């Protein structure tokens, strides 16, 4: 039996902030990942998996185990760099790699290819999930249940963009840059602060409470489950439209400017919230730029900043366990102060 | 719900699940061991053809058996890694029975939930990427006795049906006349059943009125209603089907009592008959356009009547939301399950050490050609594993840190600096939170020391207790140190690592016997401090006196603690000092 087909991204009802955060990460992959936390049954996993199907295919060097980009000679892996021959390019789907719970370290970072070692006596490296996720997405459902030693690995690689493997007499390093997407339910346990901080954007999802929205969600879900292929076909034009918007936004991204006044507003917002370090500011500005590009603008303006401030900042507030004020409220209050709502 | 109605609901739930296992995904069956439960399970099996696999999840199942892994025998025979399917893959297309479901740990619940969502089991382990179809329905048997134990919400949330056999006497448990053929006929009709907007609205409205937040519930209810319609040979979901869905799917999830309607009486018991006579010809009176409002009213009334009574009593005391939670308890348990496996090392699997099969094979792999040079030509491949190849598993025993705060609340300390000391402790608490430590709180004043908070992960509680801590009285420092020593020992016995943070001005003036006398008290305090030092416990002494006192420093020296006068201790310094004495500060990978 084939696995269940995917629900189309554009058919997801509501959950605008979650969808926007994912789209921003699709437009600017350097945004630092997306964390989706919240109620059960809100379509967290559905949205992440659907994003994969939405993205346009990417160009890779044919046969490269690490999906190197042909147009970027600087970031090539050892295999592609050597030889000096011309590379043939191929189009492949953007990888969205699931990091399943219970994954062992050797599968995450890669290890000696035991099959080849046993059959041929060859000491070859078998790339792991991090290699597979390069230039794509690494998705961890129930990220708060991930074992600590795997979290440590991820943090290390995500920070350096490179996976260094020293095991079983192998010594390998290869590029591993990916958008980390995590989802989870806070009731299952807290997320380690180091990991929390690593995510560029964080979204809180809640179940819609108004009847018409709920009816629409149930109706679409039902239509999809009854006839997945037909449902996908019906939504194909919407999906194509959204895909074109992402492509256009990516192209526009480098030319989208951020006026000094906007940067200053971003800084003031971060100052008034007391976020640690510059990562908050940087993410805020980057997300605003990606959002502006997605909206078809060439210049980032205050509304873009306001829209992305909650997902860019709410998880960066200095966490005071003892203060029960909800992070989102604090961000909104600061926005009102800075922008004078 | 009385016995017969509960049994009728439970059997109808079984039938519906058999009709559409793929969409209903399973059932949570509250039932103690006994003949009623056995009868339900045995009969449930007869609703499926012989060929459909039924598997039972072994309690305490590991990832290897659950998800699959390396097949040792086959791997050695074949000379290459051979994967073995796990229980989930074996149950593909069938049913997985999970006993004692209320004890499923969150990590296992998450793995099962992922399989329910994807219809396949995906694992990355033992050098293998495993991917097997696993379309399964779960039967979670919830044997919980108390209110605080329930199936993990992550799972029950995804399963359409919930039934309760706890109040059914065996005499009432009559089996409906339904078999695999009836089910097969209903399955053939399933795809043709149409859904009206009114039906969707009625279920959504009912869910809202019952305070059910998740949108999976009305979706699953709709699927249940469709299965019921197919069972009764209806081409369109009718009122009775919605009522059945309301009772079986929505009612058990209720978190509020709906506002009473004019006719809040329970509807007559129709379901048992329906279940008993599923082949009854369609009545044909539901097909005309139904007013969604009126329909929702009917479904809600029926569902409200089926809301379990114990749930309502539980709700009376609880807040409006999260009443069904029970998930919180898992948070603390998870961390204990997270071990940090280290790289395997050479050694023989004995004395409790377990063989790291894959690493052993990896070690043996490069030598195979050398070891069996001439054996080619027809002989079956095998792997020559030698003694030096053996690798054994190692785990870093990650002992949990418990920071024991020992606070001097005596008059001398309290009057001057207690408030500041409290502030300092709060900073440290936040620090502990970040590192998921446990904390404990001991206070000493007057005649003795008191354990205010035994080791806990709840820092909010620690803070509250601390804020409420009154000051005044003598300084029984020795008693405080003794209490700290006793607690530290208890922590060590449990495999934890204690860290002491002592806040005092060091001016002991009450002896262990509870009598005054500065000299004797100080001598006793120093003796107690030296006993602590002998135990080599990590400790910090924060001097809370207005000016650094010789006494406090002397006590710190005696107990081998870092000495930190509070006037110089700003937030950063405090946190650095405590960090410095805490173990495991190096990143995990460097260990």
User: What are the DSSP E strand ranges found in A168-304?
Assistant: 170-175, 179-184, 201-205
**The pLDDT of residue B372 is above 70:** no
Strand-pairing partners, residue A112, are: A125
What's the pLDDT at B324? Answer: 32
DSSP B256: S
Nearest to B410 by CA among B502, B474, B467: B474
pLDDT at position B562 is: 84
Are B125 and A99 within 8 A, CB to CB? no
Q: For residue B437, what are its two tokens?
A: 């430590």
Chain B residues with CB-CB distance to A123 below 8 A: 366
Q: Mean per-residue pLDDT for B548-576?
A: 76
- Kindly give the residue spans of alpha helices, DSSP state H, lying in B119-210: 153-156, 180-190, 197-209
Q: Which helix (H) or strand (E) holds B523?
A: helix B518-534
Task: Work out the burial of residue A67: count CB atoms within 10 Å of its CB; fewer than 13 is exposed, 13-18 middle, 19 or more buried.
Answer: buried
* pLDDT value of position A218: 93
> Nearest to residue B550, comparing CAs of B500, B501, B506, B504?
B506
Residue B473: phi and psi, rounded to 5, are 95, -175
Q: Is the pLDDT of residue B464 over 70?
A: yes
- Mean pLDDT, rounded, for A126-138: 91
pLDDT of A139 higher than 60? yes
Res B204 pLDDT > 90: yes
Check if B125 contacts A (Cβ < 8 Å). Answer: yes
Are B436 and A211 within 8 A, CB to CB? no
Average pLDDT over residues A128-136: 91
Lowest mean pLDDT among B82-96, B226-240, B425-439: B425-439
Q: Give the C-alpha separation, B388 to B360, whole Å.
A: 9
pLDDT band for B49, please (50, 70, 90 cuts): very high
Model's pTM, two decimal places?
A: 0.69
Q: What is the pLDDT of residue B582?
A: 64
Q: Do B223 and A225 lie within an 8 Å CB cutoff?
A: yes
Token code pair at residue B432: 């502990």
Whether chain A has a CB inside 8 Å of the CB on B153: the answer is: yes
Mean pLDDT of the region B93-109: 89
Confidence check: pLDDT of A56 > 80: yes
Q: Which of residues 440-499 of B touch A (CB under 8 A)?
A: 459-460, 463
State the pLDDT at residue A332. Answer: 83
Q: Where are the alpha helices (DSSP H) in B367-458?
A: 368-371, 411-434
Measured between alpha carbons, how far is residue B78 from residues A102, A126, B86 in Å?
26, 20, 20
Query: H-helix or E-strand containing B194?
Result: none
Q: Which residue has the higher pLDDT, B546 or A62?
A: A62
Q: What is the pLDDT of residue B325?
A: 31
Residues of B in contact with A166 (CB under 8 A): none
Nearest residue on chain A to B197, judged by CA atoms?
A219
Query: What pLDDT, on the 0 to 100 scale, is given for residue B45?
Result: 95
First to last CA, chain A: 55
pLDDT at A288: 96
What are B135-171's pLDDT values in tens digits?
Answer: 999 999 998 866 556 788 889 999 999 999 988 888 8
Closest-CA distance, B429 to chain A, in angstroms, reads: 9
* Residue A299 distance to chain B (closest CA, Å): 39
Work out the pLDDT band at A324, boundaries 50, 70, 90. Answer: very low
Residues A70-84: pLDDT tens digits? Answer: 777 666 777 777 655
What one-character DSSP code corresponds to residue A144?
G
**Predicted pLDDT of residue B161:** 95
pLDDT band at residue B590 under the 50/70/90 scheme: very low
Q: What is the pLDDT of residues A142-179, one digit of tens each?
A: 888 887 778 888 888 888 888 988 877 778 888 899 99
Give A298-307 pLDDT, tens digit per residue: 999 999 999 9
What is residue B425's predicted lDDT score, i.e. its pLDDT?
Answer: 74
pLDDT band at A1 (very low <50, low <70, confident <90, very high): very low
Q: Which residues of chain B make contact with A219, given a CB cutoff of 8 A?
A: 197, 200
Q: Say if B79 is an interface residue toward chain A (CB within 8 Å).
A: yes
Contact B47, B227 (CB under 8 A): no
Band of residue B275 on the pLDDT scale cut at 50, 70, 90? very low
Closest CA to B53 of B85, B94, B83, B84: B94
User: What mean pLDDT comes out for the span B360-380?
Assistant: 65
Q: What is the three-class DSSP state of B404?
A: strand
pLDDT (0 to 100) of residue A100? 86
Separation of alpha carbons B136 and B115, rounded Å: 8
Q: Which residue has the higher pLDDT, B436 or A26?
A: A26
Active site residues of A: 279
* pLDDT value, residue B316: 45
Q: Check A119 against B80: CB less than 8 A apart.
A: yes
Residue contact B119–A42, C-beta within 8 A: no
- Tell the residue number behind the tokens 């979204």, with chain if given: A203
Ranked by mean pLDDT, which of A47-56, A205-214, B37-46, B447-456 comes out on top? B37-46
Average pLDDT, rounded, for chain B? 78
Cβ proximity of B102 and B142 under 8 Å: yes
Q: B114 contacts in A (CB within 8 Å)?
A: 100-101, 141-142
Lowest mean pLDDT among B38-42, B487-491, B532-536, B577-581: B577-581
Torsion (CA) B182, B185, B189, B195 in degrees, nearest 10: 10
Whole-number pLDDT of residue B142 = 92
Rg for chain A (alpha carbons), in Å? 21
Identify all chain B residues contacting A42, using CB atoms and an 8 Å cutoff.
214-215
**Interface predicted TM-score (ipTM):** 0.80
Distance separating alpha carbons of residues A135 and B210, to the nearest angstrom: 46
Using CB atoms within 10 Å of the CB of residue A116, give its burial: 0 to 12 exposed, 13 to 18 middle, 19+ buried. Answer: middle
- The residue among B490, B456, B465 whose CA lies nearest residue B407 is B465
Q: Looking at residue B312, what is its pLDDT?
A: 53
A161 φ, ψ (degrees, to nearest 5): 70, 15
- Given a cut of 60, whether residue A325 has pLDDT beyond it is no
Where residue B351 falls among pLDDT bands split at 50, 70, 90?
low
State pLDDT tens for residues B291-349. Answer: 777 788 888 887 877 776 665 555 444 333 333 333 322 222 223 334 455 666 777 76
User: Which comes out higher in pLDDT, residue B402 or B318?
Assistant: B402
CB contact under 8 A, B125 and A167: no
Whether B27 has a pLDDT exceeding 80, the answer reads yes
Q: Calculate mean pLDDT across residues B428-457.
A: 78
């Amino acid at each position: 039996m084939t696995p269940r087909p995917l629900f189309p991204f554009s058919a997801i009802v509501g959950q605008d902030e979650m969808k926007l955060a994912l789209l921003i990460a699709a437009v600017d992959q350097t945004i630092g990942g997306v964390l989706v936390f919240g109620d059960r049954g809100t379509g967290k996993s559905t949205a992440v998996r659907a994003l994969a199907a939405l993205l346009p295919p990417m160009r890779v060097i044919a046969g490269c185990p690490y999906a190197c980009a042909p147009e970027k000679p600087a970031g090539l892996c050892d295999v592609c760099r050597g030889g000096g021959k011309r590379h043939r390019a191929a189009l492949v789907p953007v990888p969205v790699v699931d990091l399943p719970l219970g994954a062992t370290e050797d599968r995450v970072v890669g290890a000696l290819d035991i099959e080849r070692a046993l059959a041929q006596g060859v000491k070859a490296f078998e790339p792991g999930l991090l290699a597979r996720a390069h230039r794509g997405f690494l998705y961890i459902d129930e990220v708060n249940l991930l074992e600590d030693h795997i979290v440590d690995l991820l943090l290390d690689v995500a920070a350096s963009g490179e996976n260094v493997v020293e095991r079983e007499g192998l010594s390998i390093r290869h590029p591993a840059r990916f958008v980390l997407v995590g989802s989870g339910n806070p009731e299952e346990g807290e997320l380690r602060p180091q990991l929390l901080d690593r995510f560029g954007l964080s979204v809180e999802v809640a179940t819609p409470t108004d009847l018409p929205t709920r009816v629409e969600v149930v109706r679409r879900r039902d239509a999809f489950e009854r006839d997945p292929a037909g449902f996908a076909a019906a939504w194909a034009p919407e999906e194509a439209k959204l895909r074109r918007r992402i492509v256009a936004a990516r192209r526009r991204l480098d030319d989208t400017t951020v006026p000094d006044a906007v940067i200053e507003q971003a800084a003031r917002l971060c100052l008034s919230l007391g976020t640690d370090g510059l990562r908050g500011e940087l993410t805020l500005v980057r997300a605003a730029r990606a959002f502006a590009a997605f909206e078809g603008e060439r210049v980032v303006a205050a509304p873009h900043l306001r829209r992305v401030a909650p997902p860019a900042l709410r998880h960066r507030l200095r966490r005071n366990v003892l203060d029960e004020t909800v992070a989102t409220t604090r961000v909104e209050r600061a926005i009102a102060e800075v922008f004078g709502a | 719900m009385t016995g017969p109605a509960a049994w009728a609901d439970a059997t109808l739930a079984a039938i519906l699940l058999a009709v559409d296992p793929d969409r209903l995904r399973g059932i949570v069956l509250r039932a103690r061991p006994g003949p009623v439960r056995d009868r339900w399970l045995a009969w449930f099996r007869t609703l499926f053809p012989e060929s459909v696999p039924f598997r039972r999840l072994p309690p305490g199942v590991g990832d290897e058996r659950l998800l699959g892994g390396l097949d040792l025998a086959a791997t050695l025979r074949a000379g290459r890694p051979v994967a073995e399917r796990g229980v989930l893959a074996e149950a593909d297309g069938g049913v997985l029975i999970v006993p004692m479901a209320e004890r499923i740990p969150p990590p296992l619940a998450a793995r099962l939930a992922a399989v329910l969502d994807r219809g396949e089991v995906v694992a990355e382990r033992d050098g293998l990427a495993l991917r097997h179809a696993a379309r399964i329905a779960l039967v979670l048997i919830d044997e919980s006795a108390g209110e605080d134990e329930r199936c993990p919400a992550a799972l029950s949330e995804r399963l359409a049906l919930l039934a309760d056999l706890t109040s059914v006497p065996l005499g009432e448990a009559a089996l409906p006349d339904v078999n695999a053929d009836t089910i097969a006929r209903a399955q053939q009709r399933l795809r043709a059943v149409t859904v009206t907007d009114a039906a969707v609205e009625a279920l959504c409205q009912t869910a809202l009125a019952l305070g059910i937040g998740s949108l999976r519930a009305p979706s699953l209810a709709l699927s249940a209603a469709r299965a019921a319609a197919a069972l009764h040979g209806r081409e369109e979901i009718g009122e009775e089907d919605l009522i059945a869905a309301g009772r079986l799917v929505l009612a058990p999830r209720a978190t509020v009592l709906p506002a009473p309607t004019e006719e809040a009486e329970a509807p007559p018991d129709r379901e048992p008959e329906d279940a008993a006579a599923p082949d009854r010809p369609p009545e044909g009176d539901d097909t005309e356009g139904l007013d969604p409002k009126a329909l929702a009213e009917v479904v809600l009334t029926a569902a409200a009547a089926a809301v379990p009574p114990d749930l309502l009593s539980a709700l009376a005391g609880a807040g409006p939301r999260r009443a069904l939670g029970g998930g919180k308890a898992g948070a603390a348990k998870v961390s204990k399950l997270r071990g940090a496996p280290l790289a395997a090392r050479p050694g023989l699997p004995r004395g409790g050490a377990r063989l790291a099969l894959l690493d052993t094979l990896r070690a043996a792999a490069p030598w195979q050609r050398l070891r069996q040079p001439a054996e080619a030509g027809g002989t079956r491949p095998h792997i020559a594993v030698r003694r030096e190849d053996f690798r054994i598993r190692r785990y870093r025993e990650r002992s949990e840190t418990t920071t024991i705060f020992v606070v001097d609340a005596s008059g001398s300390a309290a009057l001057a600096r207690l408030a500041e000391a409290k502030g300092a402790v709060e900073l440290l608490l936040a620090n502990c939170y970040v590192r998921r430590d446990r904390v404990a709180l001991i206070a000493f004043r007057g005649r003795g020391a008191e354990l205010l908070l035994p080791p806990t992960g709840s820092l909010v509680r620690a803070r509250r207790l601390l804020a409420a801590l009154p000051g005044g009285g003598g300084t029984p420092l020795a008693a405080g140190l003794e209490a700290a020593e006793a607690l530290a020992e208890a922590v060590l016995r449990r495999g934890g690592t204690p860290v002491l943070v002592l806040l005092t001005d060091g001016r002991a003036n009450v002896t262990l016997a509870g009598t005054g006398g500065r000299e004797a008290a100080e001598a006793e305090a120093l003796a107690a401090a030296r006993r602590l030092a002998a135990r080599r416990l990590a400790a910090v002494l924060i001097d809370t006196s207005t000016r650094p006192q010789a006494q406090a420093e002397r006590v710190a020296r005696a107990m081998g603690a870092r000495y930190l006068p509070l006037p110089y201790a700003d937030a950063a310094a405090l946190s650095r000092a405590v960090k410095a004495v805490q173990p495991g500060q190096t990143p995990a990978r460097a260990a």
